[in-house]
């Protein structure tokens, strides 16, 4: 309680100067220090949707303007406070290592893994069991987004879920007329409807306990992990993102990315405001 003796009255404050200082310190910590965690960038895929271009380059090195998409992803992570990154490689992995090196040019540390045989979309994490001993990020190496990592990580840490999936809403135009029927009788018809779904962005927060579910040396997809956890009724959360998200593995998104000025300070790919 604070008093004003000169004025002959008592001024009641809901908190002390010390608690005010603590409040602003915690606010600063959340805004600038929350994202200090390791990230795994998945770069082992063959990029079949972008063939024939990916016959020469791995998908994460496909150019967006004058720079490879993986460079944009790594710089975005660094601006968000991520300094230690593991890059999982497989197909044409030597090219990725040659381009990105040890990460020192972006003031970050990059360590690589190499798949001798394809391990699926989540199997490569089995190669990093010892290194991932705290909550960590996982993302595909071909994702461009303005997702706020502070908010994603805070949302995950305050929950009791072992996985939080970054999600976005996508609409898909059907190429066919859709028929509804009951016992062979048509009850409805929609001509090439547009279906809207909540989809995974390919960005996740995970706790180390998840690694116990991933087998070693065999292909294991994120779908396998989800089916397993849902069958066991293990909690998985979503973080809904309403901003920019492009999956460069899709031709449509790859072409759309070429029309965006990927300036590092632009709103399109800078750290989103909290």
Residues 6+ apart with CB under 8 A from 269: 72, 76, 144, 146, 244, 260, 262, 263
- The residue that leads in pLDDT, 259 or 158, is 158
Q: What is the pLDDT of residue 232?
A: 94
- Taking only the tens place, the pLDDT of each residue in 94-107 is 899 999 999 999 99
- What does DSSP assign to residue 22? H
What would the pLDDT profile of 59-114 be if each residue is shown by its tens digit? 888 888 888 999 999 999 998 899 999 999 987 888 999 999 999 999 999 999 99
pTM of the full predicted structure? 0.80
Element (H, E) at 41: strand 39-43
Q: Are strands 84-89 and 39-43 parallel, antiparallel or unpaired?
A: parallel
Extract the tokens encoding 45: 């895929």
**Nearest Cα residue to 148 out of 26, 30, 28, 22:** 30
Q: Tell me the two tokens of residue 7.
A: 């004025």
Cβ atoms of 200 and 167 closer than 8 Å: yes
pLDDT at 19: 47
Tokens representing residue 99 in the block: 């381009």
Q: How confident is the model at residue 259, as a pLDDT?
A: 85
The confidence score (pLDDT) of residue 49 equals 59
Q: Where are the alpha helices (DSSP H) in 34-128?
A: 69-79, 93-100
In this predicted structure, the answer to whether residue 38 has a pLDDT above a threshold of 90 is: yes
């Amino acid at each position: 309680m604070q008093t004003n003796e000169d004025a002959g009255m008592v001024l009641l404050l809901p908190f002390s100067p010390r608690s005010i200082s603590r409040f602003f310190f915690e606010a600063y910590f959340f805004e600038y220090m929350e994202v200090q965690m390791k990230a795994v960038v998945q770069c082992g895929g063959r990029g079949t949707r972008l063939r024939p271009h990916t016959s020469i380059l791995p998908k994460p090195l496909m150019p967006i303007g004058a720079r490879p998409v993986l460079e944009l992803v790594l710089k975005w992570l660094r601006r968000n406070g991520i300094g230690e990154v593991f890059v999982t490689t497989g197909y044409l992995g030597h090219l990725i290592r040659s381009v990105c090196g040890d990460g020192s040019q972006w003031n970050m540390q990059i360590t690589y893994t190499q798949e001798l045989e394809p391990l699926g979309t989540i199997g490569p994490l089995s190669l990093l069991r010892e290194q991932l001993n705290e909550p960590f990020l996982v993302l595909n190496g071909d994702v461009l987004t303005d997702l706020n990592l502070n908010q994603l990580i805070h949302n995950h840490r305050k929950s009791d879920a072992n996985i939080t999936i970054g999600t976005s809403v996508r609409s898909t135009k059907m190429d066919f007329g859709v028929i509804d029927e009951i016992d062979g009788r048509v009850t409805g018809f929609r001509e090439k409807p547009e279906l809207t779904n909540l989809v995974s962005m390919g960005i996740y927060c995970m706790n180390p306990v998840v690694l116990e579910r991933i087998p070693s040396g065999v292909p294991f997809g994120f779908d396998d992990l989800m089916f397993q956890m849902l069958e066991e009724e293990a909690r998985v959360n979503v973080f809904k993102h309403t901003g920019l998200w492009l999956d460069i593995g899709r031709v449509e998104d790859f072409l759309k990315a070429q029309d965006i000025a990927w300036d590092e300070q632009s709103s399109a790919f800078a750290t989103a405001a909290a």
